Structure 1
Amino acid sequence: MTYERLIYRMSIRTKLFLMLLFFLCLPSFVFGFLWFEKSTKTLEDNAIQYSETLNNQVNDRMEIYFQEIRRITLPLISNPLTQKMISAGPSADNYDRYSLALPLQDELFPSILLGRSDILSLSIVSDSGLVASNLSVLSAKERFPAYDRRIKENGDYQLMGFTRVYGVPVLTLAMKFYDTITYRNSGIVIIDIKLSEIAGLSRGVKLGSSGYIRITDSDGQIIYDPDSSKWGTYISAKLLHKFDTKLKGGFTEHTSRGKLLINYLHSNITGLNIYSQVPIRELVGGLIYFRSITAGISLMLIVLALFLLGWFSLSLTKRIIALQRLMKRAELGDFSVYASYGGSFHELDSLHHSFNAMISEIRRLVEVVHKSELKEKEMQIVHRESMYRSMQAQINPHFLYNTLELINSYAIVEGVMPISKMASALAHIFRYSIGNSGREVALTEELNYIETYFTILTERYPHFSNEVHVGDQDAPKVRALRLMIQPIVENAFKHGYENHKLRPTYIGIRGIPEGDAYVLEIRDRGGGMEDARKNKINEALMLTWDREVNADGITQMDSIGLWNVHSRLRLTFGAAYGIEIAESNTTGTVIKMRLPYASELPSEAG
């Protein structure tokens, strides 16, 4: 017995048991062991990510802060007073220097520094030696050469590092400014930011109970440390080298305090290095305990899941096997089967419902097929009776033709030409109408017949006129049925004229090509009908055949002629063809008849 055969012959219960064993139990224990081994590594990675997130938060604050400092100094650089001062050459005397710097110190600097307690001093030093400062002109002038040299080497914006101004620890920021006329670098702006304000950006960030965040400049000088005594000192060269190799990263060090996690981040905007240091145990100690508790709970849940899955599989297979037996009975022709509801599985109840609906539909279809067979036999009987009546109507037609010819001859001899004309037309109508009424003809033949019919109507109604506008090239290509127009004309006389006590005056026929179909418009000038009646007739004409034979909308409105023509057209040409009432009002009614084209049509027998 092959492996595939063995699997095929297993019951659903056996397959479910094996699947639980090999795909749930065994993998659960294997992966549980691996998870326990790898969980510590994952916890450490999470600690690293958490530390990196804190570093990013501090860095974002620093970058936003220094960008704000640069933004508030832009009006200072472009101010006319500043531009006037930097445009003065080195030949300016002391009075001129004082008079140029005074408006900046008394008017411009206070407006910029208003509400900015974080800025200790703001100074402008031009290349020609002119200085304006809100604190110390001498200090700004002394620092200018070193700052100017460093900023020319590194760009337009540079943090100069830690220093003390009048005993206050500050972080100095220097920026180039340009003459707005010559666009040359004309000096620098020196901003001394209180280091206590910088420290405030890092406060509130907590890493465990003993971890901390430290900020240094690109040279390794400490800008911020929780221990303020370390401000201005330098970190070790080994640690600075690790910062220089990458923009960000992390590593661990083993110390007497245990394993330390160190993460660092370098900002391209400020040029500062931010790094954090924390013992890993302070971040993940609680998680390790939680991991152990989780492992025990997971083991208990796996055992419980196995029990529940076993119960579930037994309950599921029991109902599936019962449904399988019912389907077997249905295969043998027993359509009285019924799948009962009730249980813990909504999906199985839905499946049982679908099975019952399927059995019910099969029973209905069997009845429909049986009724269709009976209906087909009835239609065959009706067809034979129709053929029998048609044969009776054709008994000795030559006798009737000869009689009409005799009347025509007497009329000609007596000079009564209207009678001769009507007798000839009547003979043509009789010859055309006794043929098979269901036979397909070209539209040309049907139009010739209806024009003969109009000849008799013209003699009967002196005020009657008619128009037929159908293209000579279109009519031979359009498929039609015998006697399909005459019932509509008779319907127009009865309902359009007689019911409204109007004398017949006009019938018009017009042909319109519409894509793959050809439309005949049959128009009268009678009294029309109400919209409600027109809509009801059109709705009845749109019904499918199964409902048409039982529809009473047509018979109740005495429109059997329309109904019969429409039914013949649809049965012969398909559901896309037939008639509809396009318009009907007090000025008349328009009936549209949709017909197909054909390349070959049977011709009229002689």
Structure 2
Amino acid sequence: MKRRTLSRQIYAYFLIVIVLSLVSVGAFSYFQSSRKLDDQAKLYMEQMVDSANYQTDSYLQSYELLSNAFSSNSDVRAFMELNPDDPYAYYDFSRRIKDFAQTSVTSIVTLYKQLNMIYVTGEHGRSIIYENQNVLNLDPVLVKEKFDKLMTSTPSDGKIALLNMSIRPVDEGSVVTMSVKVRGPSYGPNRGVVAIEIKLDELAKTWDRVSLGKDGFFFIIDDTGKYIYPPAMGKRAPMDELASEALRSGNQTFITKYNGEDRMFVSRKSAYSDWNLVASMPVAELRKPAETIRTTTLVVGLVTLVVSLGLAIRFGRSIIAPIRWLKDSMRETEKGNWQYIEESGRADEIGGLIHSYNLMVTRLQGMIERVYEAELEQQKNLLELGETKLERQRAEFQALQLQINPHFLYNTLETINMYAIVQNSGEITEMVEAMAFMLRYSVQTNLEEITVANELNHVRNYMIILQHRTDREFEIDVAIPPGLLLEKMVRLTLQPLIENIFQHAFPDGIEDHHTIRIDAKKESGLFQVFVEDNGVGMTPERLAELRKKLKENRLAEPEESGAKRGGGIGLMNVHRRIQMVFGEAYGLSVDSEQGHGTRMTMTMPETDRPRMRG
């Protein structure tokens, strides 16, 4: 029977895990990226065609303004009822309409530089043709033929028509004609048309901006299937095939086989001109980035597989080598007085370990007593360590109680001194009494119970001193229900929060609209005290940093020398003091929004007496 070693098992499992991981990640990445790239390519083509459609409509609408100006001109309307046998009248109208055309076109030459010609023709057979500041004379038979076509193709309700034609044979296929019917001065039936020919070469500059890659092309057809802007040379299919497919699609995107290859066509129908603007690109070109991703994925996957297998072999050897060394080392112990235990019959490295382990079992009975004595000694050390830890927590709690802002005491004493020098007032007595109460209340280090009323009285004395120092009246809104005033809480937790507000919530001084509110409630076995203000609040970064310190349950670090206090030391001491009395599940939480104030919440258990917890 072939020996199945542990190393071979490790290599086999590594190979399975690596191959499955590479195949699943590679396949998922390829299919997801291919689908996203197809969607992006489709969206890109649709956006380009929509942009060209919009620019074409805007372009043609500009010419409609010029057409309306001609059709409403009084000389043009009067020309429609001209006596065709009156040469002087024809000359006079030609001169006036030419002057009007020159004035209109010259004033907006930058907009209408793509203009080919403007002509006015009536059913009487007379016409005035304006081209580049000149009036042309064409064959009357040709004019009559074009006039009949214009009258037939142009709506009678005053709307314009876009026609793929020209009055001159030489311009056929290179211009688009915009025509509108005109009535005479008597507002009778339509007597003629005004037509404007637009050069397609200039209009095509807008369409040529549509970038469709090496094998892509763009074309425009009218609502009858005729090409307004044909595909590039060598790309045109029979008109009844490509044009009819585009007309059927309307505003859809479709994929069809064209010239032996699958191509994507994006068609958009203009609501203004009834033209269909169509862009086309080979599907293979659109999916070329996806093919590149597939090739890259395969190459990277194979390289990763080879490297991973090499690392797996190295890792397997690093595991097997110590086991074999341990097995060989344990065999050396067989030279002692160890009793042999029957082996389980395993032939791999683990079996060797079991063999060596069984040899050591006979010595374990002699070691039990020593292990038991060592365990007793360890338990004794743990008890001593626990007592030491409890003493450290008590010392930390007392130290926290003694942390009073020395700057506040110094400033207060200086204020008392100034009052004593400047005036003989009862205010000094009031300040000294308030300060004496605060000092007596602050330096007590025992864990006796105190109530919400005690903490509020401590805050009241603090406010007396602060009002004398700042020479400004300020009241705190206390909304605590009377039934909660005798609830138990931790000493010296409320006044530091009020002091923090005055230091940081109102950096520019106290204004009339500033408020501080204290409230409390009991709910779901919890007693909560809320302190909130409408000051400047905290930035999201500062709030996140403070919450992180509260979560880590550590005291705030001192600020750099000379820097403004960040407000973290007092809040962290309050948080730690609550936790040292009631446990880690309670403490201080902060909510703040920059420009809208801060809300601090002290959460404690609803209990008759706080107790110290380790």
Check whether TM > 0.5: no
TM-score (norm 1): 0.43
- Could you say which structure has the greater relative contact order, defined with CA pairs below 8 angstroms and 6 or more residues apart? 2
TM-score (norm 2): 0.43
